[in-house]
A = this chain, B = another copy of it.
């Protein structure tokens, strides 16, 4: 990419301004430096930024946003780039704002059960710090070993424990946010109850970097559950697994984790992890309950009975904590395991009400057959959040077209079942054209109005969430 003289001059000018704010050593416009941040975990998206800038504190972030607003320079806030909707891909050039310096844990407040962190802190570092004190931060996205908490906040990440404990936004009490106009605001507090004004905290959480930059967050903690047990239920009938999910909840038990893996996923995970997972069954449920020991024992016994009643061919209790952790680790590795099989792996997260899990699993299989594409399904069955995963090859344009059509139909089906396009991965670039299917033109207009009021120059993560043009709807029977 050659720059003309005029562009070169502008580039130097912008660089000087960035250097002035964050320091020489924290601005990178080398080709190799820019290349590293040209993509994230989403297959098939890449674009070069003009600069990578790494601010050292909130004030630098705010100053940088103000400058970029004045000059309409796009800004993409980036943690570890583990997202799956191209949300950190700098699709319109500009500045990648790297949060690597702002990675400290600022305070663990045991009296108010909160932890205050900077956005670049790694999720796992936070949970480890908390659990040492017998406290608990429940949100556990599969990428938590490398993801940053800032990324989790921007995407409102879910995880395996969402069924019982909710998602990231349920644990955010207060934020400091840098706005495009250069202001630094604080929302919320260490307060269970606070109705002083609109809920700006939850507006910024999950806004995918399109409104501002979270520069500090205070998270809610709860006491660490005293014990936990894990069982595996094996099925030769996928529908029976779906019915079991409904049956457990109908019996007034909310397990912490209720995961579904189909046979393809099981085989891939076993090939990858070698922990003796059953690969000769059509599906398994991985079920975890936590809490006081006597209650966990009671629930697990009842849950095992319900699994058997719904035709599970076997129910196995993890013999030890290590075995339980191995199973959880194996489940977390599903994406990596599947990704080894084909050059391109597309992992989606269409989500439906829990009662529609069986219908959705069936619909995904039908769509895969119709478009002749390979789709494995696993996911958080307890909260209706499935991960249909397509193994394909981005170089095969004809197949990729069929993959796209298949997912469009899966999205439409999820919405028809009262569900949503994305349960935990975010809209980003990949789902932006479909968002209007869920929200309607009037809902989109409300979002656009909010975006415009906070980011009038449109510098915050442009090209994400809001599509130039909504995708036309395929007519499917409802």
Give the complex CA separation of A203 and B158 in angstroms: 20
The answer, among B190, B199, B294, B442, for a CB contact under 8 Å with A203, is B199
- Inter-chain contacts of A185 with B (CB < 8 A): 439-440, 442-443, 446
Asked whether A197 and B435 contact (CB < 8 A) given A111-B354, A384-B191, A443-B187, the answer is yes
Does residue A470 face the partner (Cβ distance < 8 Å to B)? no
- Inter-chain contacts of A435 with B (CB < 8 A): 196-197
- Inter-chain contacts of A384 with B (CB < 8 A): 191-193
Asked whether A249 and B111 contact (CB < 8 A) given A254-B222, A454-B446, the answer is yes
Q: Separation in Å of the A166 CB from the closest CB of chain B?
A: 7
Interface residues on chain A, size class: 35 or more
Interface contact B453-A246, CB-CB below 8 Å: no
Give the complex CA separation of A199 and B426 in angstroms: 12
Interface string of A417-428 (1 = CB under 8 A from B): 011111111110
- Inter-chain contacts of A353 with B (CB < 8 A): 111-112, 189-191
A contacts, CB < 8 Å to B: 109-113, 134-135, 155-156, 158, 162-163, 166-167, 169-170, 179, 181, 183-187, 189-200, 202-203, 205-207, 222-224, 246, 249-250, 252-254, 292, 294-295, 298, 351-355, 380, 383-385, 418-427, 431, 435, 438-440, 442-447, 449-450, 452-454, 465
Give the complex CA separation of A57 and B353 in angstroms: 26
Give the complex CA separation of A363 and B113 in angstroms: 24
Interface contact B442-A183, CB-CB below 8 Å: yes
Give the complex CA separation of A423 and B190 in angstroms: 12
The answer, among B110, B424, B438, for a CB contact under 8 Å with A197, is B438
Give the complex CA separation of A423 and B196 in angstroms: 7
Copies in the complex: 2
Interface contact B423-A198, CB-CB below 8 Å: no
Nearest opposing residue in chain B for A437, CB measure: B196
Interface contact B111-A250, CB-CB below 8 Å: yes
A-B contact pairs, 29 of them (CB 8 A): A112-B354, A134-B252, A155-B195, A158-B193, A183-B442, A183-B445, A185-B446, A189-B418, A189-B419, A190-B353, A190-B354, A191-B351, A191-B353, A191-B384, A192-B385, A193-B380, A193-B383, A193-B385, A195-B420, A195-B424, A195-B427, A196-B422, A196-B427, A198-B203, A198-B206, A203-B203, A292-B295, A449-B450, A449-B453
Give the complex CA separation of A224 and B251 in angstroms: 11
Nearest opposing residue in chain B for A224, CB measure: B252
Give the complex CA separation of A163 and B134 in angstroms: 19
Q: Separation in Å of the A378 CB from the closest CB of chain B?
A: 15
Give the complex CA separation of A435 and B200 in angstroms: 14
Q: Separation in Å of the A258 CB from the closest CB of chain B?
A: 11
Interface contact B354-A189, CB-CB below 8 Å: no
Give the complex CA separation of A202 and B206 in angstroms: 12
- Inter-chain contacts of A158 with B (CB < 8 A): 193, 195
Q: Separation in Å of the A243 CB from the closest CB of chain B?
A: 11
Asked whether A439 and B197 contact (CB < 8 A) given A222-B254, A252-B223, the answer is yes
Give the complex CA separation of A117 and B246 in angstroms: 23
Nearest opposing residue in chain B for A226, CB measure: B252
- Inter-chain contacts of A438 with B (CB < 8 A): 196-197
Q: Which of A205, A443, A446 has the most chain B CB atoms inside 10 A of its CB?
A: A446
Give the complex CA separation of A385 and B196 in angstroms: 13
Nearest opposing residue in chain B for A466, CB measure: B197
